[in-house]
Each structure stands twice: as C-alpha cells, then as structure tokens.
Structure 1
Amino acid sequence: MADDNGILDINRKSFENEIRALTEVRHRNIVKLHGYCSRNGAMYLVYEYMERGSLAKVLYAEEGSKKLDWARRVKIVQGVAHALSYLHHDCNPPIVHRDISANNILLDSEFEPRISDFGHRKTARSWFV
C-alpha cells in the first residue's frame, strides 16, 4: 500500500526506522544523521561526509587496498565491534543492525569506521555532508 506521496508503506517504515535509530544513538563509530526529507515520493537522508567512502570501495580499489595495512584493518574491526557492542548492550531496547557489510561501513579520512544504513531501502536516497 502506498501513501499520498506514492511511497510504499515498507519503504516509509524503513525510512522512519533509520531516522529513529540514528537520532537516538550517539557513538563515534556510528554515522551521524544531519537531516532528512520526504517529499513528492522521494526520501532523503543527510549524513556526515565520509571522505573515503565505503570499506568495500577501499578494499576492492587497487590503490585503496594498498593503503589499508594491517594496523588500519584492526582499527576498523575494533571500531565496528565497539559500535555493535554499543547498539546491542548500551541501547534500550537493543538495536540489531541486520546488514553489516563492507558497503555499510564508511571510512573517514583517517580510516575511522562508521556504521551506516540502519534499514532504509534502496529507494531512499542518502546524501553525505
């Protein structure tokens, strides 16, 4: 079923869940949501800008993977583990991400990881600022 703007209920719920999750959590390894908009059938999320993009992009790019030495890889794993521990043990109720992947881990200029994508469908558009 779609609402007045033509947005499917499942997409609207995913969009709202993402907003709710990211406005209630505060952790250095979880992406910051700066804003959102739903208008004329389009849904937008505005995140903090992550200079290096996704971990997948860095891992699978020839030049990027050379910069990803073992010390940086361990730093990324530790950051993701801290964020997941926070979501599972320090949030009430606990938050389960459901889709941790290299595409949903973003990296800043210092390779500090941020978990993103807390359930929004591909029809929602994300902007990074």
Structure 2
Amino acid sequence: MKKLHQLWDGEKNLEKSFLKEIRALTEIRPRNIVKLYGFCSHHQHSFLVYKFVERGSLAAILSKDEEAKEMGWRKRVTIVNSVAHTLVYMHHNCVPPIVHWNISSKNILLDSEYEASVSYFSTAKFLNLDSTTWNAVAGTYGYVAPGFDFEENIK
C-alpha cells in the first residue's frame, strides 16, 4: 500500500502524480508491472493498493549481505531480463508509449520466487505520438547519461 498525505490541499503536483500513476497502472498490463488492486482518494490521505510482493524492493535485498549473497547471478539476470522486457513493452507496445523516468532498485519489487515487478509510475510520461519534438532532461537527480550534450539538446 502506498499512502500519500494531503493530496488535494493545494498540492497539484501530488494530485497529478497520483492520477498519472493510476492511469499508467490501469492502462498497461504486462506481467512484470506491479498490479494495482484499487485506490482511495480523500482530502487528507490517498492510497494506492497494490498486490503484495513478498521480498520487497531490490534495493532492500541488495543492502543486506546475506540476502544479496543468496541472490546469485542466475536470479540477477532473470531480474534484469524482466525489467528489460517491461521497458520494451512500455516503449514499443503501449499506445501511447510510456517512459518510466525512475527505474531504480527501489522501484523493482521481487516476489518469493525473485520474479521482478516494476513499480512507481507517478513520474511516468505518456508520449504524444503527434509531436515532432520533445526536449526535456530526464534521469535520476544528480546524473545525466554520459554523452548528453547540453548545448545541442537544451535550448
């Protein structure tokens, strides 16, 4: 369950993020996206109710030495493949295409069999297929992909 505080009290960005996450999770259905069961919006608290994912986030597992050691290379490759297939689905098989913008180990959830699910769609962007240009810097705070040319891309 994800709880958001004071969603409707002048916090338009939180409201947009909440609605964007609901839209993304109800419009796309690949196997490796966390399942949204429902939501509740109230002026003080809003909730998103997801399928329970037993092992929690990849970040939490990797931060514990014993659990990280238990997750061998075969499991890690399976996780990477699951996330890659999910991204391919969102970029090429969704209409409109969706760009997640915040793939991190905190947003990859693992079930009891180490099956990965991508979560956290509040920053997702639905691409406008009618647009000929789109220029925005995207990525994790403090990091921009190597080779990104600010002079050429930001005007």
Cα 1:4–1:85 shift into 2, 3 Å: closer
**Structure 1 counterpart of 2:129:** none
For 2:119 and 2:24, locate their aligned partners in 1 and report how far apart those are by CA, in whole Å.
11
Instruction: Report the AA paired with residue 53 of structure 1.
Output: G
After TM superposition, give the deviation of residue 40 of structure 1 in Å. Answer: 2.9
Instruction: List per-residue Cα deviations over 1:58-114 (Å, max 9, x = no partner).
Output: 111122101110000000000000000000000001000000000000000000000
Q: Which segment drifts farther, 95-104 or 60-69?
A: 60-69
TM-score (norm 1): 0.87
- What are the ranges of 5 or more consecutive residues in structure 2 without an aligned counterpart? 1-5, 124-155
* Structure 1: stretches of 5+ with no match in the other structure: 121-129
1:109 and 1:55 mapped to 2: Cα distance? 12
Q: Spell out structure 1 runs of 4+ moving beyond 6 A.
A: none
1:15 aligned to 2:56?
Answer: no
Q: In proportion to residue count, which structure has more helix?
A: 1
Other structure's SS at 1:36 match: strand
C-alpha distance in structure 2 between counterparts of 1:119 and 1:12, whole Å: 10
The residue aligned with 1:78 is 81
Paired letter, 1:48? K
| Letter in structure 2 aligned against 1:28 | R
Q: Which moved more, 1:104-113 or 1:39-48?
A: 39-48
> What secondary structure sits across from 2:98 in the alignment?
coil
- Residue 47 (structure 1) aligns with: 50
**Over aligned residues, Cα RMSD in angstroms?**
1.6
Identity of paired residues, percent?
53
Q: Which residue type is aligned with residue 66 of structure 1?
A: K
Question: How many residue pairs were aligned?
Answer: 118
Number of the residue aligned with 1:102 = 105
Normalised TM-score (structure 2): 0.73
Contact 2:61–2:67 (CA under 8 A) maintained in structure 1: yes
For 1:109 and 1:93, locate their aligned partners in 2 and report how far apart those are by CA, in whole Å. 32
Q: Which amino acid aligns with 2:47?
A: Y
Higher normalized contact order (CA 8 Å, seq sep 6+, divided by chain length):
1
Cα 1:12/1:56, change in 2 over 3 Å = same
Distance 2:73 2:119 in 1: 23
